[in-house]
Structure 1
Amino acid sequence: MTLIAHMTDLHLRPRGLACYRVSDTNMLAERAIRALQALDTRPDALVITGDLTDRSDPREYAVARQLLSRLQMPIYLLPGNHDSTDGMRREMAGYPGLSETGDGKICYTADIGACRLVVLDTHLAGSPCGELGREQLAWLNARLHEDRRPTLIALHHPPALSGIRHMDAIGLTDAAALAEVLSPHAHVERILCGHLHRPIIASFAGKVMTLAPSTGHQVVLDLTEESPAQFNFEPPAYFLHYHSVETGVVSHMAYVENFPGPFSFYADDGVVWPGDET
């Protein structure tokens, strides 16, 4: 079996500074890493689908390096709109794939157990929107034709619309072109993304898209026509993508917080359940 942890949108800040004045994203990211370390089964890898930092500040990348150094597993990074391609390549040098991508987009492949990960870069300088571009799409098409193993595609901006209008307005600008590339490939079992700070499952190009919530604050669920851009502190979470020959890829959402339990499924002595009177 293969187990891949998927976190997103950490929005790390320089030490002592909150995100948007009220979100202690560094503390919340610390909790997420501790939750990952506490799992009974250690993941084979961690994928972080962008917005590792809040402003692509070297001090924020320094926090990221210190935080991620605690994990004894490969970590695969890609930039979001709050990061920058050049900043991530420079400040996170040494992480898989980042130093092998030249000076263009950060795109690379990785083998994780029986699965193949394909990492894409949607960062668009000066814009909250995302774009893959022709060159990266051609690269992706070539990678999908060369290997037919179960494949997960990781990118920051979700290609499918969510119905949250203010977030859809800053989505992936060339989603239709991505759909043309992905549609013929049945071995693409998951599209992993972030950006929306909510757990969202959708279909895109005949594939399952799993959009992970943030490890910090979440975007308010508002599907009205004029939904304002607001966030709250719903419980942070992340995804665990489990793969086996029998199941294919199965995605589980795991919460960062601790809750009461576990408890065994046993009734109290002497309890008679309805229908069991006889």
Structure 2
Amino acid sequence: MSMKLFHVSDVHFGAEDPKALDWFARCVADEAPDAVIMTGDLTMRAKPREFDAGGKWLLSLGVPVTIEVGNHDLPYYWDPLRRLLSPYKRYGAAERLIERTLDLPGVSIIPLKTTARAQWRWNWSKGHVSSGALRDALDLAEAVPKGNLIFVAGHHPLIEGGTRGTAKTRNGEKALAALADAGVHAILSGHVHDPFDKPVQVGDWTVRMIGAGTLSKRLRMSPPAFNEIRIDGGRFETLARTLSPEPKHQISRTSRAGLS
């Protein structure tokens, strides 16, 4: 089984980079990945026109797509009723792609919600994994066909990946341990706007924390970027694709899923 996935995040329609979006769309058209995994922050301010533009852009790619919810995709603090009561009502063209499980030959991609409508701290942009969200992800992992690679997709890294940006995800370590125990091979995320691939040992199991860059104008340490995940049998590797003179570089070694 040989497969290619494109992992993209933090497109931030409303602050998007048109040049980066066109570049990514050309890569999809030229290379035909088996799926696109979008790990949140499709929009900048959760406005209907941003969701509509982002959803139409993703649908135009012509490949299977799943979208996770990012903190920027929830209505802001100045619209508290909408944030608490109907936070996903504005997704428009993107609605049917939200938290969509993708079952591909030999690979299952399942969602994990890491956003919260409200938190007991000032900064609601940081990650939070509720017991219900974790239970839903574990139930989906349990139903994956035997022998499949299991990739979990959420917006916030469960633990820090060594980037300048942070997630500070509450219950992240607990979620990571439970997902590793369930046989998850990789956890894909965004939020920090810089790519990384960090193997984490949990008991006898190794789970990979894989973060994507951004296709927006809100750059940090890296140029506009997305991840290419190459799968060959039970092995996979991550390459950061950047809109720069150095367009592609490996950020992980090829490794056998689940093993040290």
Normalised-by-shorter TM-score class? 0.7 to 0.9
Contact residue 76 and residue 95 of structure 1 kept, 8 A: no
- 1:242 deviates by 1.6
Contact residue 39 and residue 67 of structure 2 kept, 8 A: yes
Q: Distance in 1 between matches of 2:94 and 2:52?
A: 13
Do the aligned partners of residues 220 and 72 (structure 1) sit closer, same or farther apart at CA in structure 2, a change above 3 Å counting? closer
Is 1:128 the equivalent of 2:125?
A: yes
Is 1:70 the equivalent of 2:60?
A: yes
> Cα deviation per residue 1:53-77 (whole Å; 9 max; x = unaligned)?
0111001012113322321111110
1:183 is matched with 180
2:226 is matched with 238
- Map 1:82-231 to 2 at 5 A: 82-84=72-74, 86-88=86-88, 90-92=90-92, 96=96, 98=98, 107-126=99-118, 127-147=124-144, 148=146, 149-164=148-163, 167-168=165-166, 170-186=167-183, 188-204=184-200, 205=202, 206-217=206-217, 219-221=219-221
Q: Distance in 2 between matches of 1:120 and 1:92?
A: 21
Q: Distance in 1 between matches of 2:158 and 2:12?
A: 21
Q: Distance in 2 between matches of 1:160 and 1:69?
A: 31
Q: Distance in 1 between matches of 2:151 and 2:37?
A: 11
Do the aligned partners of residues 68 and 220 (structure 1) sit closer, same or farther apart at CA in structure 2, a change above 3 Å counting? closer
Bigger Rg over Cα? 1
Contact residue 10 and residue 29 of structure 1 kept, 8 A: no
1:248 is matched with 235
Contact residue 101 and residue 110 of structure 2 kept, 8 A: yes
Code of the aligned partner of 1:135: G
Is 1:48 the equivalent of 2:38?
A: yes
- 1:43 deviates by 0.6
- 1:164 deviates by 4.9
Code of the aligned partner of 1:36: C
Q: Distance in 2 between matches of 1:216 and 1:94?
A: 18
2:28 is matched with 37
Q: Distance in 2 between matches of 1:213 and 1:5?
A: 12
Q: Secondary structure at the match of 1:65?
A: helix
Identity of aligned residues (%): 23
Contact residue 199 and residue 211 of structure 1 kept, 8 A: yes
Q: Distance in 2 between matches of 1:258 and 1:31?
A: 17
What is the CA RMSD across the aligned residues, in angstroms? Answer: 2.6
Q: Distance in 1 between matches of 2:126 and 2:67?
A: 19
- Going by fraction, where is helix more abundant, 1 or 2? 2
Is 1:4 the equivalent of 2:5?
A: yes
> Cα deviation per residue 1:71-102 (whole Å; 9 max; x = unaligned)?
1111110110100285546524665554xxxx
Q: How many residues align?
A: 225
Do the aligned partners of residues 29 and 55 (structure 1) sit closer, same or farther apart at CA in structure 2, a change above 3 Å counting? farther
TM-score, normalisation: structure 1: 0.72
TM-score, normalisation: structure 2: 0.76
Q: Distance in 1 between matches of 2:93 and 2:52?
A: 12
Structure 1: tracts of 5 or more residues without a match: 14-18, 20-24, 99-106, 222-233, 261-278
Do the aligned partners of residues 184 and 37 (structure 1) sit closer, same or farther apart at CA in structure 2, a change above 3 Å counting? closer
> Cα deviation per residue 1:231-272 (whole Å; 9 max; x = unaligned)?
xxx421111112121x52222222245779xxxxxxxxxxxx
Code of the aligned partner of 1:45: A
Code of the aligned partner of 2:175: L
